[in-house]
Amino acid sequence: MADDHDNNWRPPDRDMAGMDAVLTEQRNPRSTGLDTMSVMEIVDLINSEDRTVADAVGRERERIAEAIVLVVERFRRGGRLIYVGAGTSGRLGVLDASECPPTFGTDPEMVQGLIAGGYDALIRAQEGAEDEADAGPSDLAEREPTAADVVMGIATSGVTPYVHEALAAAREIGAGTIFLSCSPVDPGEVAADVIITPLVGPEVVTGSTRMKAGTATKLVLNTITTASMVLLGKTYENLMVDLMATCDKLRDRSCRILVETLGVGYEEAADLMSEAGGSVKVALVMGKAGVGREEAERRLEESDGFVRRALGEA
């Protein structure tokens, strides 16, 4: 029976020979009987495969650390981190970028995400956009990248033209470059300073990189931005003291941070937050050092925003 797929089919535009050798396109021998399994067998199989992802990411720990060092160095120069991806990879980049401002109080420009196909591709798949090689550099150019920035290309298959061309354009202007793939990569063929390849193996559903590869991608991106923000003084102990208290949940969290660290009651914490102009960092220094808002802000300014330094603890 005919359906809409008949109207969309056309032969590949480029030579796809060798795609069957791409790790994310290979069949998983453990799931070849997937369509005969019971519900519990499917759940257990997917869970078993997912358990391998963290180990694959862990094997890339040195490359991930290199990426963090590069990102922090560029942040300190006033640069930005710009993710570039297509499909799931692009959506995860946009997701990670969008979560940095509320979590760490960053300017929305500091971490950005580019996805092939633009905004519409965030909510409806536009798989053909990844083949538009010229669009990668063009979309990146709209962000006006400089040598102070880091551009991180995400292509779990390792072959996305949109991503590779954007990375090449970033490299030409001297920007730092990172490439993330879940397939083996020839370093000589990728324009990147750091190459991260968590090899999670074939997916339960062949080629469905929204699964293990997507999970690995999220783990890597979370690690890079979280560690970078910690190294920039965005936390005190393991508390997000630069959070933007833009909703009741986060306003409550702000108060609870002060209750936890200062040993005060909830109402006193709320009053202190008000005195501090809504800044957890300022309130912390005020409470711990017994100083007013102006002095707390001065100490934080002199310590580059690190609470420990402002308190003389480090």
198 and 285 assigned to the same domain? no
How many alpha carbons fall within 13 Å on the CB side of residue 162?
Answer: 26
Beta bridge partners of 112: 82
Say if CB 197 and CB 182 are below 8 A apart: yes
In a domain, 295, yes or no: yes
Number of structural domains found in the chain: 2
The enclosing H or E element of 63 equals helix 61-76
Q: What is the pLDDT along the chain (314 residues), one digit of tens a residue?
A: 445 555 665 666 655 545 667 888 888 889 999 999 999 999 999 999 999 999 999 999 999 999 999 999 999 999 999 999 999 999 999 999 999 999 999 999 999 999 998 888 888 877 666 667 678 999 999 999 999 999 999 999 888 899 999 999 999 999 999 999 999 988 888 989 999 999 999 999 998 899 999 999 999 999 999 999 999 999 999 999 998 888 899 999 999 999 999 999 999 999 999 999 999 999 999 999 999 999 999 999 999 999 999 999 87
Domain boundary among 204, 231, 258: 231
130 part of the active site:
yes
CA distances from 175 to 68, 172, 209 (A): 15, 8, 28
pLDDT given at position 137: 94
75 and 174 assigned to the same domain? yes
The enclosing H or E element of 180 equals strand 176-180
CATH number of domain containing 292: 1.10.8.1080
Sign of the CA dihedral with 56 first, then 61, 67, and 68 last: positive
pLDDT given at position 15: 56
204 and 274 assigned to the same domain? no
Domain boundary among 172, 200, 231: 231
pLDDT given at position 134: 78
198 and 155 assigned to the same domain? yes
pLDDT given at position 17: 47
**Nearest CA among 143, 142, 137 for reference residue 164:** 137
CA distances from 35 to 26, 204, 205, 310 (A): 17, 11, 10, 60
Say if CB 294 and CB 301 are below 8 A apart: no
71 and 179 assigned to the same domain? yes
268 part of the active site:
no
**Nearest CA among 130, 57, 41 for reference residue 88:** 130
172 and 303 assigned to the same domain? no
274 and 191 assigned to the same domain? no
Which entry of 60, 130, 203, 297 is annotated as an active-site residue?
Answer: 130
69 and 101 assigned to the same domain? yes
Q: Kindly report the pTM of this predicted structure.
A: 0.90
189 and 148 assigned to the same domain? yes
Beta-carbon contacts of 19 under 8 Å, excluding residues fewer than 6 positions away, are 25, 159
pLDDT given at position 11: 66
120 and 218 assigned to the same domain? yes
Q: How far apart are CA 170 and CA 67, in angstroms?
A: 16
As given in the structure block, the two tokens for residue 128 are 């053909």
In a domain, 20, yes or no: no
153 and 297 assigned to the same domain? no
In a domain, 142, yes or no: yes
For residue 122, the Cα-to-chain-centroid distance in whole angstroms is 15
In a domain, 189, yes or no: yes
In a domain, 27, yes or no: no
CATH number of domain containing 219: 3.40.50.10490
Which entry of 99, 132, 275, 295 is annotated as an active-site residue?
Answer: 99
For residue 55, the Cα-to-chain-centroid distance in whole angstroms is 18
In a domain, 237, yes or no: no
Q: What is the pLDDT of residues 87-116, one digit of tens each?
A: 999 999 999 999 999 999 999 999 999 999
Say if CB 49 and CB 204 are below 8 A apart: yes
213 and 257 assigned to the same domain? no
Q: How far apart are CA 41 and CA 36, in angstroms?
A: 9
Q: How far apart are CA 254 and CA 76, in angstroms?
A: 26
Q: Can you state the angle between helices 266-275 and 248-262, rounded to 10 degrees?
A: 110
In a domain, 264, yes or no: yes
Phi, psi of 111 (to 5 degrees): -125, 125
In a domain, 226, yes or no: yes
Domain boundary among 176, 199, 231: 231
Range of the domain at 293: 248-310
